[in-house]
Homo-oligomer: A and B are copies of this chain.
Amino acid sequence: MTEPTKILLSETEIPKDWYNVIADLPFEMPPMLHPGKGSPVEPDDLAPIFPRALVEQELSTDRWVEIPQEVREVYGLWRPSPLCRARRLEKALGTPARIYYKWEGVSPPGSHKSNTSVPQAFYNKAEGVQRLATETGAGQWGSALAFACQLFDLACKVYMVKVSYDQKPYRRIMMETWGAECVPSPSPATEAGKRILAEDPDTSGSLGIAISEAVEDAVTHSDTKYSLGSVLNHVMLHQTVIGLETKKQLELVGHYPDVLIGCVGGGSNFAGLFLPFVADKVDGVAPELRIVCTEPTACPTLTRGPYAYDFGDTACSTPLLKMFTLGHAFVPPPLHAGGLRYHGMAPIICALVERGIVEAQAYDQIPAFAAGLQFARTEGFIPAPEPTHAIRAVIDEALACKEEGKAKTIVFSLSGHGHFDLGAYAAYLAGTLEEPQGCDALLKQALSCLPMVP
């Protein structure tokens, strides 16, 4: 029988547990530090902003965490997501490589983000929370949380990075369609926002600023908790449904990846794909497996940032995280891949990069869009700007396979569709898309604040 284009699983095969890689790491993760005391955070320190269940998951060392039935039922609206063989792209490239993409754009909000927004809304609701506050970059996380809050009957307030709020009005309407309130960040609704607006009324905003606003909103409203769409351990945990399904799907067609590729902003979509494969690499089951993070040269966290403790937000209100960071004050130049405009990175990914278990590579915006267009014109689906960075790496890898005559298995995370990013494709097609400028100067200034902990 020919291998199908889409490798599907049945709903009963939605994973019953999330996988916690912490249990299998051959090293200790550096702890999250309390911003005031400098000591490792205790569960009570996180209680004002997260529900108890998520705090437990954040600090957990258990290998498996059961997925509540109510969450699996919502996952069933779109999961298991298909693992697709990109045969037309392979043919266009003339490569002997097998290219697979895990297609997360099939969820109602159109990206992988709902894998964690749904359990986050569920646990908050279960503990009596009535309202969630969050930030969003390109709008994928904000719409995923709006969707989840609607299903679990929670109010939702989204602080959206101003440059994306202006560029992507449809993302805001999507959030409103699901009943959420969305404002541009920095906003006059918070002290952090007011302070930044006073300094620079024309700021394009950043994820770091928006996080400060959302955290402040949560701690100043007793009915409200904060919700984060990436970076933290519990978010990576929820996203492992991606990789757990992928592993099973690849087994069905008898292949094991030679290379896993994904884009990283905070890191959640790609961590979701690769974390369930890390133990294989570490334990010697698959020592040759390469795991490649792709990021934009305009926000080169893993490739140019130091590995240091830093704040997750601009206003220095979050715990300190050990991560590759460009400095918490770093505001990258405008870039269409709004979801990749974060100064830091998930500590789990950073620890793996630091130890050489995971690689990182930065790509310019224009070659990334060229790759995205080639994908759209062969496979049909139009990728969001973020995963075009992964596709650039995939195509380069597949062309290297052609050069070397090697039939490698390349698997990548196609984290979402680009239906709300077509303005960027229009600019690319018109030849008016530009590379973001001024990154070096911005970096020099932002990095000067480091290290935050000696």
Number of this chain's copies in the complex: 2
- CB proximity of A90 to chain B, nearest CB, Å: 14
Contact flag A76-B380 (CB < 8 Å), given A173-B426, A419-B420, A422-B170: no
Residue among A11, A177, A376, A419 having the largest count of chain B Cβ atoms under 10 Å:
A177
Instruction: Find residues 51-79 in chain A having any chain B CB closer than 8 Å to their own CB.
Output: 73, 76-78
Asked whether B426 lies within 8 Å of A380 as measured between CB atoms, the reply is no
Separation of A422 and B107 alpha carbons in the complex (Å): 17
Separation of A84 and B108 alpha carbons in the complex (Å): 13
Asked whether B380 lies within 8 Å of A147 as measured between CB atoms, the reply is yes
Separation of A107 and B419 alpha carbons in the complex (Å): 13
Residues in B with CB closer than 8 Å to A256 are none
Asked whether B377 lies within 8 Å of A150 as measured between CB atoms, the reply is yes
Complex partner residue of A11 from B6, B76, B110, CB under 8 angstroms: B6
Residues in B with CB closer than 8 Å to A176 are 425-426, 429
Residues in B with CB closer than 8 Å to A426 are 173, 176
Q: A5-B11, A177-B382, A419-B419 are known contacts; what are 20 more A-B pairs with Cβ within 8 Å? A: A4-B11, A4-B12, A4-B76, A6-B77, A77-B380, A77-B381, A78-B380, A108-B379, A108-B381, A110-B419, A147-B380, A170-B422, A170-B423, A173-B422, A173-B423, A173-B425, A173-B429, A176-B429, A178-B376, A179-B377
What residues make up the interface of A, taking CB atoms closer than 8 Å to B? Answer: 1, 4-6, 8, 10-12, 73, 76-78, 84, 88, 106-110, 147, 150-151, 170, 173-174, 176-179, 373, 376-377, 379-382, 419-420, 422-423, 425-426, 429
